[in-house]
Chains A and B, each alone.
Chain A
Amino acid sequence: MSGNMNLTLKVWRQKDGKSQGKIVDYQVKGISPDMSFLEMFDVLNEDLIKKGETPISFDHDCREGICGMCSMHINGRPHGPKTGITTCQLHMRSFKDGDTIVVEPWRASAFPVVKDLVVDRSAFDRIIQAGGYISVNTGEAPDANAIPIPKKYADEAFDAATCIGCGACVAACKNASAMLFVSAKVSQLALLPQGDAERKQRVESMVDQMNEEGFGACTNTGACSAECPKEISQVNIARLNREYISAKLTSDNI
């Protein structure tokens, strides 16, 4: 073993979506501070398999903070104690020898548990399907430099577009609201001239879908933005509200 940290983990175990879940305690030994949090889980799972116990299921893929698949709620915070990073980028040097760490899945009724720490976030896909795109078919595009876009707007659109769709905003919110997620996409496309043609329809459809999925309302506590691994600004929610109101005031859908 490569390290000397010993930890107690309290992990949510749940066989499937229909079964009752519970917190189970595990001891992990010999953890290196250079390990990532997920690598610590790999060590635990290897031990469990050798003992003949079912390993803990958890979502993860790229392990470099960009795919948005990892989703652990660690000591009461989505993606753990540090700000601006995902669980896969959290390293054990952020913990101390002897710590007890509680690990739960995202908690939101719109994200039902699939197994252990794995949840179903397909609601996010359906929100994007409701209008999070510009309707342009392959081959229709004009030259890329045909429309200059002021750097300021391009940069702001980019900041919104960095959302990785992990769901930490929902998990952090006491109302399990998806406003930050929705606002990031609405903002990106509202800030760009290419998005203008469908601007009103887009925001109306995406908000309708968000409501239909059972996400809660936004009460502007700001927890979403504080816990967002990409630090998407709450300003986007304000922009979403403006977009929504102005769309509704002039809506074609009456």
Chain B
Amino acid sequence: MILDSKIPDGPIAEKWGKHKFNLKLVNPANKRKYEIIVVGTGLAGASAAASLAELGYKVKAFCFQDSPRRAHSIAAQGGINAAKNYRNDGDSVYRLFYDTVKGGDYRAREANVYRLAEVSRNIIDQCVAQGVPFAREYGGYLDNRSFGGSQVSRTFYARGQTGQQLLLGAYSALSRQIAEGNVTMFTRSEMLDLVMVDGVAQGIVTRNLVTGAIESHAAHAVLLCTGGYGNVFYLSTNAQGSNVTAAWRAHKKGALFANPCFTQIHPTCIPVSGDHQSKLTLMSESLRNDGRVWVPKNEGDKRSPELIPEEERDYFLERKYPSFGNLVPRDVASRNAKEMCDANKGVGASGLAVYLDFSDSVKRNGEPWVKEKYGNLFDMYAQITGENPYKSPMRIYPAVHYTMGGLWVDYNLMTTIKGLYALGECNFSDHGANRLGASALMQGLADGYFVIPYTVGDYLATIGPKPINASHPAFKQAEEDAKAYVNKLLSINGNQTVTHYHRELGKIIWEYCGMARSSEGLNKAKGMIQSLKADFWSNVKVLGEGEELNQSLEKAGRVADFIELGELMIDDALARNESCGGHFRVEYQTEEGEALRNDDDYAYVAAWEFKGDGQAEQLHKEKLVFENVKLTQRSYK
């Protein structure tokens, strides 16, 4: 298989404009003859569904939650990047592009990233027009703040609830299209399979989560906007329902899965408090604008923080990276926190935490100032830990937050299956081996508002508006497969709960495929996951019936897919004999302990092809060509 990224020719700044002109158009009267399925209603899904419906296409949108407004994009806190240069501080499209490629440790596609930076400016305009209440200054103009991996202030924000406000903006646009009858919305519906006819995506099979009914939906194109797979780690900042099922089932139907081992461990999360923990809570990266990260200089120093004098504190990020300080990219900050804890300098009862201290900022600006900027985050911290972060420093530790890997897509966001697209976190394309803060919201909305409306039209114009329905035998077959799958899960009736398997899987992945990976550990983990999979399918206990609201059953299917994905992540991490971004192989590091890339052999996208249950997946490589950014050892010193 040859992976054709379909990157347009020409200078980087002209590629997207030229490409848009070359894409075929569907005339307005014909648009209503096409049906498009959008799975997932987060930033990517809601913005795509709304924009396509505005153009005149007939859209069916699906989400597993009770309302499209609840997709996990809502939980994004800090902000959204855009190259507006409203601060006059040297920002530009090219700089945002450059920062993103460098931040991703040179494992992203240049052309995609440039387009992202280019349309970032339109996103802010669109959101403001929708009534998104971004933070403003007294003059009435939009405020900005700084985020990791950048030396300009380009992050637009709405207190610590930027994701919520952006999603509600996209949700309102979607709601308007639902009211106008252009979008049919299916809530509490989960995609269980992709249906293909003659090798082309033609629809999906879903399970109605309330009645359990297995249903077929046909369309001319299918858009997966289903988010990331961070919950493979069990504990992550993802929502409980976030899952890989739609993407994974599409993968098993032939869509290649790219860079699965590229996962992001976010440095500032609230540490784990006990075995009961079901999820981890992020404290926005924006806190690193004003908070200082430190540990005691002396090993095993268990004094409470206010008793540790200034000279016995190690502000390790400021010490090691003087020019970026506390605002180094996430992978660097996380790895350094781990190193400190490994060196027995961790704080708190578990020793698996470092301090994030606001005392200097409170002294300099006063408590009300800090409250205005970060109030909701401080409240959340206090609620979860029972401690007051205005008085004593926060304790933070890295946690899984985002997955850069995902379905392989070309420049048009089409997967290796014709007619199947992947948008937002669900695809792999823009963040390389590490995503910069405030770039996920940007990518989700860029894909949905400003990329897919152009590129899907080109495909639809090519295939023509032939009538389409779900009566093809492929749908019947997929429905029967889905029913058999549900019945199989219900019939095992073993001794262990689904959560047990999920927790065990998470422990394996976190330990061996988390912040540090080694060939030895990965090989061990592969065997462990294979036995876990065998045990799951012989010993899981799922109660109840298929034809009812059955949350254990929903979870069982998702965990089964996570187990399979986990094994692929291990294979991918094993095959990449270098360190880059969030993928840190202990065998490959510089003398100073930084990630050591191998550009000669690994400057490629690893795209994996499913070859059948129990078979090894086949690796395909898309070589990454850098014509604009010079590959260097990343330095934030």
Q: A and B from one assembly? A: yes
A35 to B385, CA, bound (A): 10
A46 to B273, CA, bound (A): 19
Does B276 have its Cβ within 8 Å of any Cβ on chain A?
yes
A57 to B188, CA, bound (A): 14
A15 / chain B contacts, CB cutoff of 8 Å? 548
**Contact count A vs B, C-beta below 8 Å:** 223
Distance of B491 from chain A, by nearest CB (Å) = 15
Of B376-384, B409-417, B505-513, B516-524, the one with at least 4 CB within 8 A of chain A: B376-384
Of B31-39, B62-70, B325-333, B355-363, the one with at least 4 CB within 8 A of chain A: B62-70
Contact (A65, B549) CB under 8 Å given A59-B66, A124-B67: no
Which residues of B in the span 152-185 have a Cβ within 8 Å of any Cβ on A? 158-159, 161, 163-165, 168, 171-173, 175-176, 178-179, 185
Which residues of A in the span 84-116 have a Cβ within 8 Å of any Cβ on B? 84-85, 89, 91, 93, 114-115
Does B449 have its Cβ within 8 Å of any Cβ on chain A?
yes
Contact of B139 among A93, A132, A148 (CB under 8 A): A148
Contact (A132, B122) CB under 8 Å given A66-B161, A69-B66, A114-B549: no
**Would A162 and B131 count as touching, CB distance under 8 A?**
no
A189 / chain B contacts, CB cutoff of 8 Å? 131
A129 to B72, CA, bound (A): 21
Contact of B383 among A35, A89, A121, A151 (CB under 8 A): A89
Which partner residue on chain B sits nearest A159 by CB separation? B133
**Would A142 and B129 count as touching, CB distance under 8 A?**
yes
Does A238 have its Cβ within 8 Å of any Cβ on chain B?
no
Does A60 have its Cβ within 8 Å of any Cβ on chain B?
yes
Contact of A39 among B66, B158, B278 (CB under 8 A): B278
Distance of B15 from chain A, by nearest CB (Å) = 20
Distance of B122 from chain A, by nearest CB (Å) = 7
Contact (A194, B137) CB under 8 Å given A158-B158, A162-B164: no
Does B275 have its Cβ within 8 Å of any Cβ on chain A?
yes
Q: Beta-carbon contacts of B242-278 to A below 8 Å, as 1s and 0s? A: 0000000000000000000000000000000111111
A149 / chain B contacts, CB cutoff of 8 Å? 136, 140
A224 to B613, CA, bound (A): 53
A216 / chain B contacts, CB cutoff of 8 Å? none
Contact (A128, B172) CB under 8 Å given A55-B543, A57-B551, A158-B159: yes
Does B432 have its Cβ within 8 Å of any Cβ on chain A?
no
Q: Beta-carbon contacts of B417-445 to A below 8 Å, as 1s and 0s? A: 00000000000000000000000000000
Does A125 have its Cβ within 8 Å of any Cβ on chain B?
yes
A130 to B241, CA, bound (A): 28
Distance of A90 from chain B, by nearest CB (Å) = 8
**Would A2 and B172 count as touching, CB distance under 8 A?**
no
Does A236 have its Cβ within 8 Å of any Cβ on chain B?
no
Which partner residue on chain A sits nearest B67 by CB separation? A125
Does A144 have its Cβ within 8 Å of any Cβ on chain B?
yes
Contact of A162 among B84, B127, B161, B172 (CB under 8 A): B161
Does B544 have its Cβ within 8 Å of any Cβ on chain A?
yes
Contact of B130 among A59, A61, A133 (CB under 8 A): A133
Does A67 have its Cβ within 8 Å of any Cβ on chain B?
yes
A52 to B552, CA, bound (A): 12
**Would B380 and A89 count as touching, CB distance under 8 A?**
yes
Does B321 have its Cβ within 8 Å of any Cβ on chain A?
no
Which partner residue on chain B sits nearest A158 by CB separation? B133
A145 / chain B contacts, CB cutoff of 8 Å? 84, 86, 141-142
A64 / chain B contacts, CB cutoff of 8 Å? 75, 237, 279, 281-282, 380
Contact of A68 among B70, B128, B178, B549 (CB under 8 A): B70
Does B210 have its Cβ within 8 Å of any Cβ on chain A?
yes
A138 / chain B contacts, CB cutoff of 8 Å? 47, 50-51, 54, 126, 173, 449-450, 453
Which residues of A in the span 108-157 have a Cβ within 8 Å of any Cβ on B? 114-115, 118, 120-122, 124-125, 128-130, 132-145, 148-151, 154-155, 157
A93 to B548, CA, bound (A): 35
Does B612 have its Cβ within 8 Å of any Cβ on chain A?
no
A34 / chain B contacts, CB cutoff of 8 Å? 273-274, 276, 386
Does B589 have its Cβ within 8 Å of any Cβ on chain A?
no
A34 to B86, CA, bound (A): 44
Does A212 have its Cβ within 8 Å of any Cβ on chain B?
no
B549 / chain A contacts, CB cutoff of 8 Å? 16, 57, 114-115, 118
For chain A, the count of residues having a C-beta within 8 Å of the partner chain is 78
Contact (A63, B278) CB under 8 Å given A133-B176, A138-B126: yes
A14 to B176, CA, bound (A): 34
Does A235 have its Cβ within 8 Å of any Cβ on chain B?
no
Distance of A83 from chain B, by nearest CB (Å) = 11
Does A25 have its Cβ within 8 Å of any Cβ on chain B?
no
B383 / chain A contacts, CB cutoff of 8 Å? 65, 85, 89, 91
A145 to B51, CA, bound (A): 23
- Range of interface residues on chain B? 35 or more
Contact (A142, B125) CB under 8 Å given A69-B66, A151-B136: yes
A50 / chain B contacts, CB cutoff of 8 Å? 495, 497, 541
Which residues of B in the span 479-500 have a Cβ within 8 Å of any Cβ on A? 495, 497, 499
Contact of A61 among B131, B133, B165, B241 (CB under 8 A): B241
Q: Beta-carbon contacts of B114-130 to A below 8 Å, as 1s and 0s? A: 00000000101111111
A148 to B139, CA, bound (A): 7
Which partner residue on chain A sits nearest B82 by CB separation? A144
A118 to B172, CA, bound (A): 24
Distance of B225 from chain A, by nearest CB (Å) = 15
A158 to B273, CA, bound (A): 33
B51 / chain A contacts, CB cutoff of 8 Å? 137-138
**Would A61 and B70 count as touching, CB distance under 8 A?**
yes
Which partner residue on chain B sits nearest A119 by CB separation? B66
**Would A194 and B128 count as touching, CB distance under 8 A?**
yes
Does B74 have its Cβ within 8 Å of any Cβ on chain A?
yes
A91 / chain B contacts, CB cutoff of 8 Å? 383-384, 386
Contact of A128 among B127, B171, B279 (CB under 8 A): B171
**Would B128 and A141 count as touching, CB distance under 8 A?**
yes
A168 / chain B contacts, CB cutoff of 8 Å? none
Distance of B171 from chain A, by nearest CB (Å) = 7
Distance of B319 from chain A, by nearest CB (Å) = 32
Does A36 have its Cβ within 8 Å of any Cβ on chain B?
yes
**Would B72 and A61 count as touching, CB distance under 8 A?**
yes
Does B239 have its Cβ within 8 Å of any Cβ on chain A?
yes
Contact (A144, B161) CB under 8 Å given A16-B549, A46-B499, A64-B279: no
B539 / chain A contacts, CB cutoff of 8 Å? none
Does B240 have its Cβ within 8 Å of any Cβ on chain A?
yes
**Would B274 and A63 count as touching, CB distance under 8 A?**
no
**Would A140 and B129 count as touching, CB distance under 8 A?**
yes
List the 8 closest A-B pairs by CB distance, nearest first.
A148-B140, A133-B172, A141-B129, A158-B133, A141-B125, A129-B179, A138-B51, A144-B128
Which A residues have a C-beta under 8 Å from some C-beta of B?
Answer: 2-3, 15-16, 32, 34-36, 38-39, 42-43, 46, 49-50, 52-55, 57, 59-69, 84-85, 89, 91, 93, 114-115, 118, 120-122, 124-125, 128-130, 132-145, 148-151, 154-155, 157-158, 161-162, 164-165, 188-189, 192, 194-195
With contacts A50-B497, A142-B125, A188-B131 known, what are 9 further pairs, Cβ within 8 A? Answer: A36-B384, A46-B499, A66-B163, A67-B74, A67-B75, A114-B549, A129-B178, A135-B176, A142-B129
A-B contact pairs, 24 of them (CB 8 A): A3-B276, A32-B273, A32-B276, A50-B541, A62-B239, A64-B281, A64-B380, A66-B163, A67-B74, A69-B70, A121-B66, A122-B67, A122-B187, A129-B175, A134-B129, A138-B47, A141-B122, A144-B127, A154-B136, A188-B131, A188-B133, A192-B131, A194-B128, A195-B131
